[in-house]
Structure 1
């Protein structure tokens, strides 16, 4: 909307647990790219949406029927870095399972993937005290060999090593959410298994430089995506029997849910997200975005996702501004060290492209994508919750506010520079 006679547009940008206002002169602003999911209206409340999905699963019996006579049931859930509304979904999932098998032994396995373990405080924040105090929750640890089992070889040739609890389950279920993903195409579905409950060795192979560099390993793209192919194989090998995946809006509220077959329910959800999230690129000299606010903007590692949305609608040599709290710092020591130890983004890229699959190093994929962005664009990271020197160490420019960042960008590109805004960079597929 406009700000009086100043002819200034104000756009709300997700940041941490709230929003910050961005003011852009209308003479500079070319457009605002937003997912229709943020304005999607549904008559049902969140609980009803989830229940309806479970009552009418896609290409699968109901979960309560699958649970009958199963003694050892494992539910894979997302960790503290993902905005899956588990306070809503998990109680309903547990109720559905127990309605079919009241005596089932249920373990909730937190899919940390390659991330650090989720703390008890973060569990309470995500799942609620009732679930944390009364259910069996286990953090997946991708380097804990005694709790991992060798399952076979991925289509890519990498070793498939998965969490033992998941592999020993009589019934393996997963909950998650579907949004565009910057190299897996979409989140959700098979991603609960790989990288969710895979070993570090398996994640490294799947995220190798060759795959990250693939033209098919892009936002909103599944067909021909080598990373997706490995993930599908892993989910099948783990015998993932049933999924519940939701779609959320800007307020992290459930607007749709898809349950049932691990492939078909996920693909149906991806089609729904594609219809809502696809936006036409409006190339500009300055592109402003975010990583969708908490919990996705907790660190620089995660914030790279939002940068790729800006990259997709940026002119050559454009300036990218991303607002991300990054209160948890860099998000990966190897990721940080790569930028500290190498002089330029190009030198980082040159090194990474020489690394074979079997020698992939931790966080290499994030370094590769950030380097790709920085080779083409200056990036200004807006945060008042992260050490500015840390931002500079990672070859970016620091700003405390959006106003400060935009002023810097105009100094670089000129006062007449064009501007495109992508308020939530992780929610869109830029075409």
Structure 2
């Protein structure tokens, strides 16, 4: 088997195990420019050229290096429509929606944005300013903060990748602006333990998801006028959608789910989860593979009782009932951004997953939420990270480092291999 590893693959053989490979349909890949052009020509709501005036200063918020969005193509098409409305290049700014991730380098900006890299600035969450507020599910109001360039713009446009997201169900839409170009207040609230424990906050769920609903309302408060998003599966880019941010997310989420879902009817001793670039650059991002699998609709390592809805079992566990194996390059170690550093500090300073989980339930800083959900998984299962360039970081963070996948799997195990764990939704064959 070939599993993704950075920008390449590694060959994995488990001859002493019973192996099942989870291959979702994948879909038929499309050309990014053609798909985006079609979406721009038939948007949800009025076209971009009718939503702006020739005098407008326009901010385009784009994704960062953690998402494989063809931003060079998307920005080019957005600029073309703005030009049609009389908006010139010198009226356009591009803001990289980092959230609390690290800034992109000049080289990364040139690669991501091509001829528009000179218009770009990295977002700084500490410089965000309050532009409004949004009501939470308990009637509390949370400030919405924005990058000053975005806050001062007459029109706000965004790109985005609609892909499975642990909390929002699917990313994209207003998230690129509200979180990517936002401040810590909204991130702290939406990513805090109270929100993440709410019913409906789940991977792959958009409707009835209070996290997603908060993002949508924050997008309204931030004044997101138009977005151009894409989605992808294991085969590549699957489609694009443009216009009103809510409809774009729902449109592409359905397309994505049809092509990345696979049903199962058994459990396994171990799951091997492929990640690849750009998500396997650091431990913060690579652990998504483990949490997506163990905390999704169908836990492939769980007992039948847990699948039947025994929530007490999900919250407990000895950490010895199964293992998740993630080959990841980790050339950036735990990660270099503010959120990644907070993630590392919590995990590396913890005595155990149980102690960490109990402590973090009382609250934590934005960005550290990944440590919280990883702790939930580690309370039940062992997590092995293999083939990495940062094994010492893995060991410091309550996980196990091994040189290869075969070193992390016990002979005779029933093994599920999910080659593209971040683009696969596991469901029950009975549902």
Q: TM-score, normalised by structure 2?
A: 0.87
C-alpha RMSD of matched pairs (Å)? 1.9
Q: In the alignment, which of 6, 10, 13 is matched to residue 20 of structure 1?
A: 10
Q: Deviations over 1:15-74 (max 9, x none)?
A: 101111222338611x2223323xx225x532111111111112x111122233342111
Please tell me whether the aligned partners of residues 155 and 233 of structure 1 are also in contact (alpha carbons under 8 angstroms): no
Give me the whole-angstrom Cα distance separating, in 2, the residues matched to 1:361 and 1:404: 35
Please tell me whether the aligned partners of residues 134 and 218 of structure 2 are also in contact (alpha carbons under 8 angstroms): no
Please tell me whether the aligned partners of residues 277 and 428 of structure 1 are also in contact (alpha carbons under 8 angstroms): yes
Corresponding residue of 1:401: 404
Q: Deviations over 1:276-295 (max 9, x none)?
A: 1222134210100022x111
1:418 aligns with 2:414: yes
1:334 CA drift (Å): 1.7
1:370 CA drift (Å): 0.5
Corresponding residue of 2:187: 203
1:88 aligns with 2:73: yes
Unaligned stretches of 5+ in structure 2?
Answer: 304-320
| Displaced runs of 4 or more, over 6 A | none
1:214 CA drift (Å): 2.6
Give me the whole-angstrom Cα distance separating, in 1, the residues matched to 2:14 and 2:387: 19
1:226 CA drift (Å): 2.2
Please tell me whether the aligned partners of residues 28 and 419 of structure 1 are also in contact (alpha carbons under 8 angstroms): yes
Give me the whole-angstrom Cα distance separating, in 2, the residues matched to 1:171 and 1:36: 38
Give me the whole-angstrom Cα distance separating, in 2, the residues matched to 1:48 and 1:426: 25
Q: Deviations over 1:294-321 (max 9, x none)?
A: 1111111111211123322213511100
Q: Deviations over 1:74-107 (max 9, x none)?
A: 1110011111111222212212221222426111
1:202 CA drift (Å): 2.1
Q: Deviations over 1:186-214 (max 9, x none)?
A: 01112112311110232111101111223
Q: How does 1:28-427 map to 2 (within 5 A)?
A: 28-29=18-19, 31-37=20-26, 40-42=27-29, 45-58=31-44, 60-103=45-88, 105-128=91-114, 130-133=115-118, 136-144=119-127, 147-156=128-137, 157=140, 158-250=142-234, 253-281=236-264, 282-291=266-275, 293-311=276-294, 312-315=299-302, 317-331=321-335, 332-355=340-363, 360-386=364-390, 388-405=391-408, 409-410=409-410, 415-427=411-423
1:337 CA drift (Å): 1.4
Give me the whole-angstrom Cα distance separating, in 1, the residues matched to 2:8 and 2:49: 38
> SS of the counterpart of 1:283?
coil
1:368 CA drift (Å): 0.8
Give me the whole-angstrom Cα distance separating, in 2, the residues matched to 1:27 and 1:321: 14
Q: How many residues align?
A: 397
Unaligned stretches of 5+ in structure 1?
Answer: 1-9
